[in-house]
Amino acid sequence: MEITELSKTLREMGVVGAGGAGFPTYAKLTDKAEFILLNCAECEPLLRLHRQLLAQHAKEILDAFEETRKTVGAKEGIICIKRNYKSAIAAVTDFIQNYPDLKIHILDTVYPAGDEVMLIYEATGKVVRPGGIPIECGVAVFNVETMYNVYYALKNKPVTSKLITVVGEVNNPVTVRVPLGVTLKEVVALAGGEKIKDFIYYVGGPMMGNILSPSSPVVKTTNAIIVLPENHYLVNRKNSDIQIEIHRAASSCCQCQACTDLCPRFNLGHPIEPHKIMRAASSNNFSDTQAFINTFYCCGCGVCEMYACPQGLSPRKIIQLIKSGLRSAGIKPPKDAEAGPVNEYREYRKVPIERLMARLGVSEYKATAPLDNVLKTGYNKVTENLSQHIGIPAKPCVKQGDTVKAGDVIASPADGLSVAIHASIDGIVGEVTDKYIMIIAKDMRI
């Protein structure tokens, strides 16, 4: 298959990174890739869907991964799996002999093993330059669910559903497949509902997730819903006031450098030093402008504030504020930044997952959350966002009152970086805006 043909298929089938920011997968296809990596690090604590999916559907995923490798002409495909994902490793091992150009790479059980830059170094020894992208060093990375979607896209089946792990204060933790556009509340109901009265939905993982309303719709990047008490440590940290955090940094930061010492990007030689940013920001000292420019190289993993800082300060929040301000002012990261040598102590500064969960207060929510990969049906309506990926939102190609079937194109790719959106249920188009398309099941039409 030619790259242009596969790119066209993935764009039309709506395949994007099924987690993280949702980068359109077709845009990663290039003949500059020397290696392609399959990411089964499942970076965030408590999430289970990638390891479960690989364990149950290794053949389909490896078929798609090998087809992608051949299409871009990469010399090797590397399947990266954490060593404690025994079932996933066993499943891949059963089939790997059928793919001579694929191999398994075992990862440590640490956070953030799934960060692309960290993953690339672990699997290939290559260091992505600060502010750079993986393909600059000849690598493309795809996660497990994305490659599962590629397998079905090659069979002309678009992305219309999402796997989601539901854990926390629920009666029956589970990983389920639901149509795009159902509400988070409806997904939690599949886990037996909430066990507590005063709760919030922490969506996307305890380290990098966000608090969302139960009425928010499922999108192509929704990986997990963690139901937490509204007074949980994670909730309080997420809701803290940034101005108060700056004042706390000014009064309490002792410049111990623990945030920098444990920063995964710093330990790979990137010029990101959170302790210097804390010092400059908290004292309103703008003489060291480089400290502020270096915020561009933060990956937002949260190790600095959620694990490293002994005083519970918020380097990540302050860094994000500075990055946002720089971008608003039209300032871009330097294109000539180079990585220094990899820190010789890096191996001893990795963050163990079990210890991290204890620090976050989520160890009690560690659960099997078994995979149910059968699509759940019977929903009255769905609300499908037009922007479920990085880039330009899709363009509606239906109007109110149109009849659609699951899999029909309801929004076509826009010019530029964009993918199509497809109906996730059969029904009638109830509403079309510049933000979303609502589909109402036929028997619910008013």
User: How distant, in Å, are the alpha carbons of 6, 24, 60, 181, 245 from that of 148?
Assistant: 15, 15, 7, 20, 41
Interval 270-293 mean pLDDT: 85
pLDDT tens for residues 357-397?
Answer: 999 999 999 999 999 999 999 999 999 999 999 999 999 99
> Which among 83, 61, 72, 95 is positioned nearest to 5, based on CA atoms?
72
For residue 59, what is the enclosing H or E element? helix 58-72
**Range with lowest mean pLDDT among 58-62, 166-170, 333-337, 358-362:** 333-337
Whole-angstrom distance, CA of residue 183 vs CA of residue 171: 18
Residue bearing the bigger pLDDT, 19 or 111: 111
Interval 232-242 mean pLDDT: 96
pLDDT at 446 over 50: no
Interval 429-437 mean pLDDT: 97
Per-residue pLDDT band at 221 (split at 50, 70, 90): very high
Interval 122-149 mean pLDDT: 97
Per-residue pLDDT band at 445 (split at 50, 70, 90): very low
Per-residue pLDDT band at 284 (split at 50, 70, 90): confident
Question: pLDDT value at position 280?
Answer: 86
pLDDT tens for residues 190-204?
Answer: 999 999 999 999 999
Interval 242-262 mean pLDDT: 94
For 72-88, b where at least 16 C-beta lie within 10 A, e where not — what string? bebeebbbbbbeebeeb
CA angle 53, 162, 362 (to 5 degrees): 70
pLDDT at 287 over 80: no
Residue pointed to by tokens 């640490």: 110
User: How distant, in Å, are the alpha carbons of 33, 35, 40, 77, 224 from that of 135?
Assistant: 6, 9, 19, 14, 28
| Count of CB atoms situated within 10 Å of the CB of 99 | 16
pLDDT tens for residues 33-76?
Answer: 999 999 999 989 999 999 999 999 999 999 999 999 999 999 99
pTM: 0.96
Name all domains of the chain by residue range, CATH numbers in brackets: 3-153 (3.40.50.11540), 160-232+361-376 (3.10.20.600), 242-360 (no CATH), 379-446 (2.40.50)
